[in-house]
Structure 1
Amino acid sequence: MPAAARVDSWLWAVRMFKSRSGAAKACSGGLVEVDGQKAKPATTISVGSTVTARVGDRLRVLEVTGVIVKRVGAPEAQRCYLDHSPPPPPREFVAPAGVRDRGAGRPTKRERREIDRIRGR
């Protein structure tokens, strides 16, 4: 294992981003911090660093426990960090609107308007 690595490469290797270019764009866009400082893609990290990244709609706070530069399997990648992220927000349950019985045919104009009203259109 190397002693240090680029933050964009490490984020990709531990499967936080699907591509290294996606991780680099997140760094360039100011969505990644290393030890409290905004990180450029080439910022180096080492064991003990804290990486904070906004991945999708979640904030991920990761403590580096292993430095890797090549993408590895998910179980091995999870051993390279400790996740201190806040829990994800609860998903809102959305009841299926306008579910029709199979073979019931097309909805009438009135039924379609009710479906649109329920869906908020």
Structure 2
Amino acid sequence: MTSNTQEDPKIRLDKWLWAARFYKTRSLAKAAIEGGKVHYNNQRCKPGKVVETGARVTLRTGWQEREVIIDGISGQRRGAPEASLLYRETDDSVRRREDQAWQRKTLLASQLPPARRPSKKDRRTLQRFKEQNNI
């Protein structure tokens, strides 16, 4: 986990997240950092934080929370295969994401949609129920 700052270019965290294809734009990456969804070495940081190889970045996008270790530094956004070489995700993070995805899928599968649309009478009954219970 050595950091050779002489060879590594100085790249901001928001630019690295954009180049590594975690966010579509730098402004989205900046907003995520400022919103506390990105942690650099287990601490909140600013978008201008200079990234170093070997650093641990925890980021949340939608339902997923990833924990990655920076392997390479680049300020240019390239294709997904090249961008995936800039980081490696920890085994624990991969396992957690897979478990959460499985739980979401089973939850959706257990909730069957109604057999038919509610009739006018059903809608009126439901409306009366909501009014009585202040829902």
TM bin, normalised by shorter chain, reads 0.7 to 0.9
Give the distance between the partners of 1:40 and 1:65, measured in 2 at CA: 20
SS in 2 for 1:62: strand
TM-score w.r.t. the length of structure 2 is 0.68
**TM superposition shift of 1:57:** 2.3
Q: Quick one: which of 79, 87, 92 aligns to 2:96?
A: 87
Q: Which residue of 2 aligns with 1:119?
A: none
Tell me, yes or no, if structure 1 residue 8 matches structure 2 residue 17.
no
Asked whether the 8 Å contact 1:7–1:42 carries over to 2, the reply is yes
Q: Which residue of 2 aligns with 1:71?
A: 77
How big is the alpha-carbon RMSD for the aligned residues of Structure 1 and Structure 2?
Answer: 2.9
**TM superposition shift of 1:87:** 2.4
Greater relative contact order (Cα 8 A, min sep 6): structure 1 or 2? 1
Larger strand fraction of residues = 1
Q: Which residue of 1 aligns with 2:47?
A: 41
Give the distance between the partners of 1:109 and 1:97, measured in 2 at CA: 19
Moved segments of 4+, more than 4 Å: 110-113
Question: Can you give the 5+ residue segments of structure 1 that lack an aligned partner in the other structure?
Answer: 101-105, 114-121
Give the distance between the partners of 2:115 and 2:27, measured in 1 at CA: 41
Q: How does 1:94-109 map to 2 (within 5 A)?
A: 94=109, 95=111, 97-98=113-114, 108-109=119-120
User: How many percent of aligned residue pairs carry the same amino acid?
Assistant: 37
Q: Number of paired residues?
A: 113
Larger helix fraction of residues = 2
Question: Can you give the 5+ residue segments of structure 2 that lack an aligned partner in the other structure?
Answer: 1-6, 125-135
What amino acid is aligned across from residue 5 of structure 1 in structure 2?
Answer: I
